[in-house]
Amino acid sequence: MQMLTHTNFSAPHLIGRLSSSTYKNKLTKELKVTIDANSGFCFGVIYAIEIAEEILEDEGHLYCLGDIVHNDMEVKRLQDKGLKIIDYDKLKLIQNEKVLIRAHGEPPSTYKIALENNIELIDASCPVVLKLQNRIKNAHDKGENIYIYGKHGHAEVVGLLGQTENKAVVFQDMNELNANELPEQITIFSQTTKSTDTFYQIKDALQQTGKNVNAHDTICRQVSNRDLELRNFASKFDKVIFVAGTKSSNGKVLYNVCKSTNEATYFVSSAEEVKKEWFENNETVGVCGATSTPLWLMEQVKERILTF
């Protein structure tokens, strides 16, 4: 019978172990990943989600008019806890229920429907949006010609337009305005999540037409301040992964800010969308996002990158 010596017993086992660890090290890209401390939910979104979660914990269900945040992954997390997303048609049909108004705010017509249907509105409209609604209403009451720089059909813009009995003009591009048809005196407001640079370009372009322009920069500082912070963040890394939902307005704006600072910026909505081939060995990677991007999602993205 062959004797088992120390050498012939342990060698194949050890060799197997050594080679698999060496093999793994060769495959790992050794990426250094940092999440931007300034990215993630703004206070308006945090407030709406906290209210929703409190009610869901007590009552197990809650209606919400429209997506609570423009991030499908976060919406799904809350739907699993009992949040029911409804549209205006459904709002007209329900009675004696609680309905959450999200941070974007709503036009006066929504409050009217709620009153008629005995619906208890849980109003999580962001204070910044409410202030803008008031300013637009006051300007409208004074008879000013109101132009809103914003995205057609966006929930916040619908709420702003409602303050003017839907009489204001909404535009998302200068090309939509015909200088010959503009009144001599115009008042401009901006949707809170638009680009500050573009807003001032529009103001200048309108003034060059000879019109008297009363421009109100009503872009939320949670967005415009991130502009600068993100430029600084994006410039520090070899690669930047920007995480946001495809429906997020400020996601598009802030992604473009990163991309203009660092060409190697990639947009993803989930961790699965991140591709290994985007990275070279030993690169530094910055992960950042919009005001509607949850921290847990950026952490999932980081975890996935670290497996490459």
| Out of 39, 71, 163, 222, the residue judged to bind ligand SF4 by CB under 6 A | 222
| Distance (Å) of CA 221 to CA 42, 100, 132, 190, 235 | 10, 24, 13, 12, 21
Residue 156 bears catalytic tag: yes
Using the minimum distance from each CB to ligand SF4, give the nearer residue, 230 or 271.
230
Total residues binding ligand SF4 (CB under 6 A): 14
| Out of 193, 218, 262, 293, the residue judged to bind ligand SF4 by CB under 6 A | 193
| Out of 192, 248, 262, 300, the residue judged to bind ligand SF4 by CB under 6 A | 192
Alpha-carbon span 162 to 105, nearest angstrom: 11
Q: Confirm if 215 and 243 have CB atoms less than 8 A apart.
A: no
* Residue 78 touches ligand SF4, criterion: CB under 6 A: no
Q: Give the interface segment with ligand SF4, choosing from 19-27, 121-129, 139-147, 181-189 (CB under 6 A).
A: 121-129
Adjacency order of strands within the sheet including 62-65? 83-86, 62-65, 98-101, 120-123
* Residue 35 touches ligand SF4, criterion: CB under 6 A: no
Q: Give the interface segment with ligand SF4, choosing from 36-44, 194-202, 226-234, 240-248 (CB under 6 A).
A: 36-44
| Out of 157, 202, 220, 268, the residue judged to bind ligand SF4 by CB under 6 A | 220
Using the minimum distance from each CB to ligand SF4, give the nearer residue, 103 or 305.
103
In whole angstroms, the minimum distance from the beta carbon of 276 to ligand SF4 comes to 33
* Residue 64 touches ligand SF4, criterion: CB under 6 A: no
Using the minimum distance from each CB to ligand SF4, give the nearer residue, 31 or 156.
156
Q: Give the interface segment with ligand SF4, choosing from 124-132, 163-171, 272-280, 293-301 (CB under 6 A).
A: 124-132
In whole angstroms, the minimum distance from the beta carbon of 177 to ligand SF4 comes to 25
Strands 83-86, 62-65: pairing kind: parallel
Q: Give the interface segment with ligand SF4, choosing from 39-47, 116-124, 162-170, 178-186 (CB under 6 A).
A: 39-47
* Residue 42 touches ligand SF4, criterion: CB under 6 A: yes
Q: Taking Cα atoms as reference points, which of 32, 45, 49 lies closest to residue 251?
A: 45
156, 165, 176, 280: the active-site residue? 156
Using the minimum distance from each CB to ligand SF4, give the nearer residue, 72 or 238.
72
Residue the block writes with tokens 């057609």: 152
Q: Shortest Cβ contact with ligand SF4: which residue?
A: 44
3-state secondary structure the chain: CCCCCHHHHHHHHHHHHHHHHHHHHHHCCCCEEEECCCCCCCHHHHHHHHHHHHHHHHHCCEEEECCCCCCHHHHHHHHCCCEEEECHHHHHHCCCCEEEECCCCCCHHHHHHHHHCCCEEEECCCHHHHHHHHHHHHHHHCCCCEEEECCCCCHHHHHHHHCCCCCCEEECCHHHCCHHHCCCEEEEEECCCCCHHHHHHHHHHHHHCCCEEEECCCCCHHHHHHHHHHHHHHCCCCEEEEECCCCCHHHHHHHHHHHHHCCCEEEECCHHHCCHHHCCCCCEEEEEECCCCCHHHHHHHHHHHHCC
* Residue 126 touches ligand SF4, criterion: CB under 6 A: yes
Q: List the interface residues with ligand SF4, window 94-113 (CB under 6 A).
A: 103
Using the minimum distance from each CB to ligand SF4, give the nearer residue, 133 or 262.
133
Using the minimum distance from each CB to ligand SF4, give the nearer residue, 102 or 304.
102
Q: Which residues are catalytic?
A: 156
Which residues contribute to the site for ligand SF4 (CB under 6 A)? 42-45, 103, 126, 128-129, 192-193, 220, 222-223, 291
